[in-house]
């Protein structure tokens, strides 16, 4: 997607602090962290919403979750973490390329 900031990060056109990358996903530090550890796990394929999931995307998303779980200790999340996927306006989704927020590194407040 031409104007997508995450596609540009994936392509290396915009710098980011990548902590993991394979052929399907990249994980990098959020530029405006809301927790001590705040990472974004982004599928390399551009799509914005869970309503766009097809079987291949479901499989890749499942592998992404399994990868996050396997990286838990390496990412400093052994004491727990939270995954968030904002969808649409009410959730405040600001980047319309599907991504999983990975939050941790401290006790996380439960709220909005």
Among 11, 31, 50, 74, binds ligand 5GP (CB under 6 A): 31
Nearest to residue 44, comparing CAs of 24, 14, 63? 24
Q: Which of ligand 5GP, Zn ion, none sits in contact with 7, Cβ below 5 to 8 A by type?
A: Zn ion
> Candidates 21-29, 39-47, 51-59, 100-108 — which segment interacts with Zn ion by CB under 5 A?
39-47
Active site residue 97: no
CA angle 105, 95, 87 (to 5 degrees): 80
| 53-72 residues near ligand 5GP, rule: CB under 6 A | none
Nearest to residue 98, comparing CAs of 67, 55, 64? 64
**Intra-chain end-to-end CA distance of the chain, in Å:** 30
- Which residues make up the interface to ligand 5GP (CB under 6 A)? 5, 14, 16, 28-32, 40, 86, 92-95
């Amino acid at each position: 997607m031409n104007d997508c900031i995450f596609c540009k990060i994936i392509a290396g056109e915009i710098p980011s602090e990548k902590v993991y990358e394979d052929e399907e996903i990249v994980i990098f530090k959020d530029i405006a962290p809301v927790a001590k550890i705040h990472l974004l796990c982004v599928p390399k394929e551009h799509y914005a919403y869970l309503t766009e999931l097809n079987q291949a995307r479901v499989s890749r998303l499942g592998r992404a979750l399994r990868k996050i779980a396997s990286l838990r200790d390496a990412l400093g999340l052994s004491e727990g973490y939270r995954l968030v996927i904002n969808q649409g306006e009410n959730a405040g989704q600001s980047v319309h390329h599907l991504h999983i927020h990975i939050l941790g590194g401290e006790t996380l407040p439960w709220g909005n």
